[in-house]
Structures are given as C-alpha cells and as structure tokens.
Structure 1
Amino acid sequence: MERILLFFLLISSVCFGQNGEQYFARQGQMTFFSYTSVENIKAQNDQVQSVVDTNTGEIIVSILIKAFKFEKSLMEEHFNESYMESDLFPKATFQGNIIDFDPSTLGIQTRIIKGDFTLRGVTKPVDFKVNINNLGDTFSLEGDIEVLVKDYNIKIPALLSPNIANAIQVKFNLEYKPYEK
C-alpha cells in the first residue's frame, strides 16, 4: 500500500507539475459485473486510488487487481490466477483528462473522460461519461465503463465461455480530498 501511495506522489509531481491543484482519492470503490444466462459474477474493490489536477483536468487511477473481492472464494482464485494473472499484472491503470471540467462550478457536472486504460499489459484508448459532484473543498467522480474481454487478451477456456460475459460492466465511485504536501 505504501508503494502505491509513493507511486502516486511521484507520478503526480512529474505529470502535474508544481502549479496544479491536486486532489487525491485513497479508497475509491470499483465494482464489476458479468451477466450470463448461466451465472452472474460480481466483485468489489475498495482500494482504488486516484489523483486529479483540477487546473488541467488530468487524472490518474490505479487499481490493485488482487483487491477485488468476490462472494465465492473459488471465483476470486480463478479471477486472479487464470484470467487476470494478477501476479504478472498486479494493477490496472488509467491516465487521461476530464474534458471541460470546471472546478469552480459547485454541484453536479456531467463530463467525458478520455485517456489510456492499461489492463494485463495491454493499453487501449477509452472514453466514458462521468458525473462529478463538486462540494467546494471535496468532490466525487462516479461513472461506468464497459470493458471487452477480448481487448485485453483475457483468455477464457471454451468450456467456461458460457459462464463469463464478453463485455464486463465496471462501475466506480471516487471521493477526492485536497492533496496536502
């Protein structure tokens, strides 16, 4: 956990420079859901971290793969060992920009985020809609994105393919506070 925090501090100082207004989310929530007629698979991760520079709209998100928790321990084991290979690919990352984010506007803003999502060593450009609730000294960012299994080289054995959807629905909620140096 300390290494992830150090990673964010280093990346934020390099990417955002010294003039940005930086906000940090330490325990963001992310869930994913896979629906099939055979079985639904759901997992939750409460250790998602993110940094946002409100002056530039730059955003970085880090997702520790092993932090996803499942209802069934066998699902969690298969997820980490067979599909995500979390020992080889311990985290997923996103780096991008919130388009037209206005940090001076209080309340809810709906914006588009564009950037690069890296999962299992594969980086793809993505864009998705988010709701930003600006409370003045803090703000939250929530939204969802669809992740296609084939885009990130996630191999699913033919025997198990009816159990896992080709598109995984991912939802997230990140609560940001000012970064204090």
Structure 2
Amino acid sequence: MKYIGLILLAWLSIKNQAGQDLYACKNAKISLFSTAPLEDISAVSNSGTSVYNPATGDLAFSVAIRSFQFPKSLMQEHFNENYMESDKYPRASFKGKIQEAIDITKNGSYPVNVAGELDVHGVKQTRTIPGTVVVNNGTVSMSAEFMVKCVDHKIDIPTLVFKHIAETIKMNVSATYMAVKSN
C-alpha cells in the first residue's frame, strides 16, 4: 500500500516544479453500489490513495480491489474471485488532469471535470469524470460520483446471476488531502 502511494507521489513529483506543494490522501473513501432485481450490492474501501498537483491539475487515484468490504462475506468472496479476479488485477486506478483552474488559496466549492484514464480489471478506458473540489481554510477535498459499465472493463456477469448483479455500478469517491512539500 505504501509502495503504491510512493509511486503516485513520485509520478506527480516528476511533473511538479521545485518548491510547489503536492496534496496527498492515503485514506480516500471509495464506494460501489449496484441495484438489481433480486439484490442490491454495496461495498466500501477506506484505503484509496491519491495525489493532486494543483499547479498542473494532475490527479491520480489507486485502490486495492481486496480492500472493498461487503456486508456479506460471500458477496466479497464472489466479487474478488469470480468478477474482479483480484489476484490477477489487484488494483484499480485513475490518472488524469482537472480541466478547470482552481485557486487553492481561496475557500470555495469548485465544480470540475477530470479527463484521464480509468484502469479497472486490466482494461483502460478514457473517461471524463465530473466532480467537486472544496477548499476550506487550506484543506482540499474532492468528491465524484460516476458510473462504470462492467462490459467496458471485460467484467463478465454470467447470465445465471444477472438478476443479482447490475451491468452498471455506481462509484462514489471522496478524499481529503494534506499538503506535502516537494523539492
């Protein structure tokens, strides 16, 4: 886990000008929800990592698939073994750039669009994801809600269980960042 965070930090540091602040989060909350005719499925991970460079708008997220916790252990087992193949594809990630300029020295709520690449189940998709950046007395927080189609990431849902699992999953992401000085 620390290794992935360091990789993200190093990736953005290369793009960062000397002396500027980066913002990092090591406990981003990422939740998923699907509703299907027979059963709703939900899970939460509180161990996503993220790095944000306000000077360039670069943003990166990563989460271990096995970190998602489900209300039922059988759901968690099926999610990891049958659908997400967590041993083969242990992480999901997003690397992109916030399209709007944000003044992190001024309090406010800023609607944004982040264009980049979502990598889930070993399949990369170019996405533009709407979200919100909130600046409050030096604290930077981000949130987003978006949909992921299983078929877009080659996540197979057998027809035998299609009434239990939706073809589209709603994702919610929220992160609160701490400034990290880079030199």
Q: Deviations over 1:92-124 (max 9, x none)?
A: 110101111312331111111111100111100
Q: Deviations over 1:55-84 (max 9, x none)?
A: 111101111110000000000000001100
Q: Which moved more, 1:168-177 or 1:9-18?
A: 9-18
Q: Can you give the 5+ residue segments of structure 1 that lack an aligned partner in the other structure?
A: none
- Which residue is 1:113 aligned to? 114
Q: Normalising by the residue count of structure 1, what TM-score does the alignment of the two structures yield?
A: 0.94
- Which residue is 1:76 aligned to? 76
2:96–2:115: 8 Å Cα contact kept in structure 1? yes
CA RMSD of aligned residues (A): 1.4
- Which residue is 2:85 aligned to? 85
**Aligned ranges for residues 87-166 of structure 1 at < 5 Å?**
87-102=87-102, 103-166=104-167
Rounded to whole Å, the distance in 2 between the matches of 1:107 and 1:91 is 32
Rounded to whole Å, the distance in 2 between the matches of 1:115 and 1:20 is 23
Matched AA of 1:147: V
Alignment length (residue pairs): 181
1:16–1:58: 8 Å Cα contact kept in structure 2? no
Rounded to whole Å, the distance in 1 between the matches of 2:35 and 2:154 is 19
- Which residue is 1:67 aligned to? 67
- Give the % identical residues: 30
CA shift in 2, pair 1:122/1:18, >3 Å: farther
- Which residue is 1:6 aligned to? 6
- Which residue is 2:23 aligned to? 23
Matched AA of 1:174: A
Structure 1 stretches of 4+ moved >3 Å: 15-20
Q: Normalising by the residue count of structure 2, what TM-score does the alignment of the two structures yield?
A: 0.93
2:105–2:138: 8 Å Cα contact kept in structure 1? no
